[in-house]
Amino acid sequence: MAVPALAGERTGYVQIAAGDLSGAERTLQAERRIFPDRPELMLNLAAIYAATNRASEARSLYSDVLRRDVVQMDMPSGAVVSSHAVAQAGLNRLAPTMASR
């Protein structure tokens, strides 16, 4: 299941938590048209891509986050984590999937 990076309606969190990945994807794509550089949008969309077997699209978004400045993000758990740490963790989760192909 996709793990949302930041809680909030505009980040797709509610839809992801409810298992509505297609609805979350639509929300995130619409928000990215307005805010293309927000890492929480990229990370949540990458998590959806990874969960729906689109590893190459997920990898591209995770890599894009790593090329940008670090942003400290509030996670649903209450922890504060850097956007780079979340992106790297996402890439690491993709690695075994890619290696087995």
pLDDT in tens, 18-40: 999 999 999 999 999 999 999 99
pTM for the structure as a whole: 0.84
CATH of 9-99, picked from 1.25.40.10, 3.20.20.70, 1.10.10.10, 1.10.3720.10, is 1.25.40.10
Kindly report each contact of residues 61-66 with a partner whose C-beta sits within 8 Å and lies 24 or more positions away, as own/partner. Answer: 62/87, 62/88, 62/90, 62/91, 62/94, 63/87, 63/91, 65/39, 66/91
pLDDT for residue 1 is more than 90:
no
Q: Looking at per-residue confidence, does 16 or 2 come out higher?
A: 16
